[in-house]
Protein backbone atom coordinates (compact mmCIF):
# COMPACT_ATOMS: atom_id res chain seq x y z
CA UNK A 1 0.00 0.00 0.00
CA UNK A 2 1.34 3.47 -0.84
CA UNK A 3 2.22 5.63 2.10
CA UNK A 4 0.16 8.80 2.72
CA UNK A 5 1.09 12.34 1.79
CA UNK A 6 2.44 14.46 4.65
CA UNK A 7 1.07 17.97 5.17
CA UNK A 8 3.14 20.13 7.51
CA UNK A 9 1.52 23.24 8.97
CA UNK A 10 -1.78 21.36 8.97
CA UNK A 11 -3.30 23.44 11.80
CA UNK A 12 -2.62 26.74 10.00
CA UNK A 13 -5.06 28.76 7.89
CA UNK A 14 -4.28 27.02 4.61
CA UNK A 15 -3.60 23.64 6.23
CA UNK A 16 -6.99 23.62 7.93
CA UNK A 17 -8.77 24.25 4.64
CA UNK A 18 -6.62 21.74 2.76
CA UNK A 19 -6.96 18.79 5.15
CA UNK A 20 -10.49 17.66 4.16
CA UNK A 21 -9.83 18.44 0.50
CA UNK A 22 -6.66 16.35 0.41
CA UNK A 23 -8.36 13.51 2.28
CA UNK A 24 -11.22 13.54 -0.23
CA UNK A 25 -8.74 13.26 -3.10
CA UNK A 26 -6.02 11.02 -1.74
CA UNK A 27 -7.88 8.97 0.92
CA UNK A 28 -5.24 9.27 3.61
CA UNK A 29 -3.07 12.03 5.04
CA UNK A 30 -0.50 12.63 7.74
CA UNK A 31 -1.24 16.04 9.21
CA UNK A 32 1.51 17.62 11.24
CA UNK A 33 1.77 20.78 13.24
CA UNK A 34 3.35 22.08 16.41
CA UNK A 35 -0.18 23.04 17.52
CA UNK A 36 -2.69 20.29 18.29
CA UNK A 37 -5.39 19.14 15.88
CA UNK A 38 -8.31 17.50 17.63
CA UNK A 39 -10.96 17.15 14.90
CA UNK A 40 -9.25 14.33 13.00
CA UNK A 41 -11.04 13.08 9.91
CA UNK A 42 -11.31 9.50 8.62
CA UNK A 43 -8.02 8.50 7.00
CA UNK A 44 -6.07 11.22 8.80
CA UNK A 45 -3.18 10.69 11.21
CA UNK A 46 -1.89 13.56 13.33
CA UNK A 47 1.75 13.96 14.32
CA UNK A 48 2.52 16.84 16.67
CA UNK A 49 5.98 17.96 15.68
CA UNK A 50 8.25 20.96 16.03
CA UNK A 51 10.00 21.26 12.66
CA UNK A 52 13.16 22.41 14.42
CA UNK A 53 13.44 18.91 15.97
CA UNK A 54 15.30 16.99 13.28
CA UNK A 55 14.86 13.56 14.90
CA UNK A 56 11.09 14.00 15.21
CA UNK A 57 10.87 15.31 11.64
CA UNK A 58 12.79 12.31 10.31
CA UNK A 59 10.55 9.86 12.15
CA UNK A 60 7.46 11.57 10.75
CA UNK A 61 8.71 11.98 7.18
CA UNK A 62 9.63 8.27 7.05
CA UNK A 63 5.90 7.42 7.14
CA UNK A 64 5.07 9.45 4.01
CA UNK A 65 5.27 9.21 0.20
CA UNK A 66 5.36 12.93 -0.68
CA UNK A 67 5.41 16.16 1.30
CA UNK A 68 3.37 19.36 1.17
CA UNK A 69 5.55 21.60 3.32
CA UNK A 70 3.33 24.40 4.62
CA UNK A 71 4.71 24.47 8.17
CA UNK A 72 6.74 27.17 9.88
CA UNK A 73 6.48 30.89 10.59
CA UNK A 74 4.03 32.45 8.12
CA UNK A 75 4.60 36.17 8.64
CA UNK A 76 7.48 38.48 9.55
CA UNK A 77 9.02 37.81 12.97
CA UNK A 78 12.31 38.31 14.85
CA UNK A 79 15.21 36.56 13.13
CA UNK A 80 15.71 33.73 15.63
CA UNK A 81 12.07 32.70 15.44
CA UNK A 82 12.21 32.64 11.63
CA UNK A 83 15.55 30.83 11.73
CA UNK A 84 14.32 27.92 13.80
CA UNK A 85 10.87 27.45 12.23
CA UNK A 86 11.73 28.15 8.60
CA UNK A 87 15.46 27.82 8.01
CA UNK A 88 16.21 24.90 10.33
CA UNK A 89 12.68 23.51 9.87
CA UNK A 90 12.88 23.41 6.08
CA UNK A 91 16.37 21.90 6.19
CA UNK A 92 15.05 19.17 8.51
CA UNK A 93 12.16 18.39 6.15
CA UNK A 94 14.29 18.26 2.97
CA UNK A 95 17.08 16.29 4.66
CA UNK A 96 14.60 13.76 6.07
CA UNK A 97 13.08 13.38 2.60
CA UNK A 98 16.52 12.68 1.16
CA UNK A 99 17.35 10.14 3.85
CA UNK A 100 14.05 8.33 3.32
CA UNK A 101 14.10 8.31 -0.48
CA UNK A 102 11.05 10.62 -0.73
CA UNK A 103 11.37 12.51 -3.97
CA UNK A 104 8.47 14.86 -4.35
CA UNK A 105 7.99 17.97 -2.22
CA UNK A 106 5.77 20.99 -2.68
CA UNK A 107 7.28 23.86 -0.72
CA UNK A 108 4.98 26.70 0.32
CA UNK A 109 7.29 29.60 -0.46
CA UNK A 110 5.96 33.14 -0.60
CA UNK A 111 5.72 36.27 -2.69
CA UNK A 112 7.86 37.87 0.03
CA UNK A 113 10.88 36.31 -1.68
CA UNK A 114 10.40 39.01 -4.33
CA UNK A 115 8.62 41.62 -2.19
CA UNK A 116 10.97 44.52 -2.93
CA UNK A 117 10.21 44.55 -6.64
CA UNK A 118 8.10 47.56 -7.60
CA UNK A 119 4.47 46.89 -8.41
CA UNK A 120 5.09 48.31 -11.89
CA UNK A 121 7.42 45.37 -12.66
CA UNK A 122 6.23 42.05 -14.11
CA UNK A 123 8.08 39.06 -12.71
CA UNK A 124 8.63 35.50 -13.82
CA UNK A 125 10.44 32.43 -12.48
CA UNK A 126 13.81 33.90 -13.47
CA UNK A 127 13.42 37.31 -11.79
CA UNK A 128 15.98 38.03 -9.08
CA UNK A 129 14.97 37.53 -5.50
CA UNK A 130 14.32 40.68 -3.48
CA UNK A 131 13.15 39.53 -0.05
CA UNK A 132 11.27 42.05 2.06
CA UNK A 133 12.09 40.80 5.57
CA UNK A 134 13.56 37.90 7.55
CA UNK A 135 10.50 35.85 6.62
CA UNK A 136 11.12 36.49 2.91
CA UNK A 137 14.81 35.66 3.37
CA UNK A 138 13.86 32.36 5.01
CA UNK A 139 11.64 31.47 2.04
CA UNK A 140 14.47 32.45 -0.33
CA UNK A 141 16.69 30.09 1.68
CA UNK A 142 14.07 27.35 1.27
CA UNK A 143 14.00 27.86 -2.49
CA UNK A 144 17.80 27.75 -2.70
CA UNK A 145 17.88 24.67 -0.50
CA UNK A 146 15.31 23.09 -2.81
CA UNK A 147 17.52 23.86 -5.80
CA UNK A 148 20.45 22.18 -4.03
CA UNK A 149 18.48 19.04 -3.10
CA UNK A 150 17.20 18.73 -6.68
CA UNK A 151 20.60 19.22 -8.32
CA UNK A 152 22.66 17.19 -5.88
CA UNK A 153 20.26 14.53 -4.58
CA UNK A 154 17.63 14.14 -7.31
CA UNK A 155 14.64 15.32 -5.31
CA UNK A 156 11.75 16.98 -7.17
CA UNK A 157 10.61 20.20 -5.55
CA UNK A 158 8.03 22.78 -6.59
CA UNK A 159 8.40 26.12 -4.79
CA UNK A 160 5.11 27.97 -4.72
CA UNK A 161 5.49 31.73 -4.34
CA UNK A 162 2.06 32.05 -2.82
CA UNK A 163 0.46 35.49 -3.01
CA UNK A 164 -2.47 36.00 -0.63
CA UNK A 165 -4.48 32.82 -0.19
CA UNK A 166 -7.59 33.76 1.74
CA UNK A 167 -11.31 33.20 1.04
CA UNK A 168 -11.75 36.61 -0.66
CA UNK A 169 -9.44 39.55 -1.41
CA UNK A 170 -9.78 42.27 1.22
CA UNK A 171 -7.82 45.22 -0.18
CA UNK A 172 -6.36 46.77 -3.33
CA UNK A 173 -3.09 44.83 -3.10
CA UNK A 174 -4.95 41.54 -2.91
CA UNK A 175 -6.48 42.26 -6.32
CA UNK A 176 -2.98 41.49 -7.64
CA UNK A 177 -1.89 38.81 -5.15
CA UNK A 178 -5.03 36.77 -4.45
CA UNK A 179 -4.94 32.97 -4.75
CA UNK A 180 -8.39 31.42 -4.39
CA UNK A 181 -8.44 28.27 -2.25
CA UNK A 182 -9.72 26.13 -5.13
CA UNK A 183 -6.84 27.37 -7.30
CA UNK A 184 -4.38 26.52 -4.53
CA UNK A 185 -5.80 23.01 -4.41
CA UNK A 186 -5.59 22.55 -8.18
CA UNK A 187 -1.99 23.81 -8.03
CA UNK A 188 -1.06 21.22 -5.41
CA UNK A 189 -2.73 18.49 -7.46
CA UNK A 190 -0.85 19.62 -10.57
CA UNK A 191 2.46 19.50 -8.68
CA UNK A 192 1.76 16.06 -7.24
CA UNK A 193 0.58 14.57 -10.53
CA UNK A 194 3.15 16.08 -12.94
CA UNK A 195 4.87 13.10 -14.60
CA UNK A 196 8.26 14.66 -13.93
CA UNK A 197 9.25 17.51 -11.68
CA UNK A 198 12.67 19.02 -11.18
CA UNK A 199 13.22 22.36 -9.48
CA UNK A 200 10.24 24.51 -10.28
CA UNK A 201 9.21 28.01 -9.21
CA UNK A 202 5.54 28.85 -9.61
CA UNK A 203 3.76 32.04 -8.59
CA UNK A 204 0.70 31.05 -6.60
CA UNK A 205 -1.95 33.52 -7.71
CA UNK A 206 -5.32 33.19 -9.40
CA UNK A 207 -5.86 34.44 -12.96
CA UNK A 208 -6.12 38.03 -11.68
CA UNK A 209 -6.38 40.82 -14.26
CA UNK A 210 -4.06 42.88 -12.04
CA UNK A 211 -1.38 40.24 -11.58
CA UNK A 212 2.31 41.11 -11.41
CA UNK A 213 3.40 37.53 -12.05
CA UNK A 214 3.90 35.42 -15.13
CA UNK A 215 4.13 31.62 -14.94
CA UNK A 216 5.05 31.08 -18.58
CA UNK A 217 8.56 29.91 -17.65
CA UNK A 218 7.44 26.92 -15.58
CA UNK A 219 9.01 23.77 -16.98
CA UNK A 220 7.19 20.77 -15.54
CA UNK A 221 3.85 21.71 -14.03
CA UNK A 222 0.82 22.57 -16.15
CA UNK A 223 -1.63 24.61 -14.11
CA UNK A 224 -4.40 26.95 -15.15
CA UNK A 225 -5.94 28.94 -12.29
CA UNK A 226 -9.63 29.66 -12.76
CA UNK A 227 -10.63 32.45 -10.40
CA UNK A 228 -9.97 36.16 -10.91
CA UNK A 229 -9.99 38.81 -8.17
CA UNK A 230 -11.45 41.37 -10.57
CA UNK A 231 -14.97 40.36 -9.57
CA UNK A 232 -14.25 42.01 -6.18
CA UNK A 233 -12.71 45.19 -7.59
CA UNK A 234 -15.82 47.37 -7.74
CA UNK A 235 -16.69 46.60 -4.12
CA UNK A 236 -13.13 47.01 -2.82
CA UNK A 237 -12.35 50.15 -4.85
CA UNK A 238 -15.67 51.90 -5.57
CA UNK A 239 -13.80 55.12 -6.48
CA UNK A 240 -10.88 53.45 -8.27
CA UNK A 241 -7.39 53.03 -6.86
CA UNK A 242 -6.70 56.23 -4.92
CA UNK A 243 -3.71 54.97 -2.96
CA UNK A 244 -0.54 57.06 -2.68
CA UNK A 245 1.78 55.21 -5.09
CA UNK A 246 4.87 56.49 -3.27
CA UNK A 247 3.83 54.79 -0.03
CA UNK A 248 6.32 51.94 0.55
CA UNK A 249 3.48 49.48 1.18
CA UNK A 250 1.93 50.45 -2.16
CA UNK A 251 5.05 50.93 -4.25
CA UNK A 252 6.47 47.44 -3.63
CA UNK A 253 4.90 44.05 -4.25
CA UNK A 254 5.38 42.81 -0.68
CA UNK A 255 3.06 45.57 0.56
CA UNK A 256 3.01 45.95 4.36
CA UNK A 257 5.90 43.50 4.75
CA UNK A 258 8.07 46.11 2.95
CA UNK A 259 7.05 49.05 5.12
CA UNK A 260 7.48 47.11 8.37
CA UNK A 261 10.71 48.35 10.07
CA UNK A 262 11.57 50.34 6.92
CA UNK A 263 14.03 53.09 7.84
CA UNK A 264 15.89 53.78 4.63
CA UNK A 265 16.28 57.55 4.25
CA UNK A 266 17.10 58.10 0.56
- Report the catalytic residues: 135
Question: 69-88: which residues touch ligand 15L (CB under 6 A)?
Answer: 74-75
C-alpha to C-alpha distances, 31 to 18, 132, 151, 170, nearest whole angstrom: 10, 30, 28, 29
Among 92, 138, 177, 206, interactor with ligand 15L by CB under 6 A: 177
- Beta bridge pairs of residue 48: 33
Are the C-beta atoms of residues 247 and 231 closer than 8 Å to each other? no
Total residues contacting ligand 15L by CB under 6 A comes to: 7
Residue 103 or 173 with smaller CB distance to ligand 15L: 173
Least distance from ligand 15L to the Cβ atom of residue 100, Å: 27
Least distance from ligand 15L to the Cβ atom of residue 216, Å: 22
Binding mask 24-63 for ligand 15L (x = CB under 6 A): ----------------------------------------
Residue 96 or 134 with smaller CB distance to ligand 15L: 134
Q: What are the residues whose beta carbons fall under 8 Å from the beta carbon of 180, sequence distance 6 or more?
A: 165, 206, 225, 226, 227
Report the C-alpha gap between 56 and 78 in whole angstroms: 24
Least distance from ligand 15L to the Cβ atom of residue 77, Å: 11
Question: Interface with ligand 15L includes 8 (CB under 6 A)?
Answer: no
Least distance from ligand 15L to the Cβ atom of residue 42, Å: 29
Residue 111 or 211 with smaller CB distance to ligand 15L: 111
Residue 75 or 99 with smaller CB distance to ligand 15L: 75
Residue 35 or 75 with smaller CB distance to ligand 15L: 75
Provide the b/e sequence for 87-101 (b: ≥16 CB within 10 Å): bbbbbbbbbbbbebe
Least distance from ligand 15L to the Cβ atom of residue 58, Å: 26
Are the C-beta atoms of residues 110 and 177 closer than 8 Å to each other? no
Binding mask 92-131 for ligand 15L (x = CB under 6 A): ------------------xxx-------------------
Report the C-alpha gap between 226 and 108 in whole angstroms: 20
Residues that bind ligand 15L (CB under 6 A): 74-75, 110-112, 164, 177
Amino acid sequence: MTKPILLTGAAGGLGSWLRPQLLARYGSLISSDVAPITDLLPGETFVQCDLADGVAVERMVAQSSAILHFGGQSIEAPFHRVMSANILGTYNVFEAAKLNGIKRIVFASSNHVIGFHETSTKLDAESVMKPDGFYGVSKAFGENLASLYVDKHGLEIACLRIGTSIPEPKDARHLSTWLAYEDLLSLLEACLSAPKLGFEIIYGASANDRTWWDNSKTKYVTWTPKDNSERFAATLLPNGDQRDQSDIAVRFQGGPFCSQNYDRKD
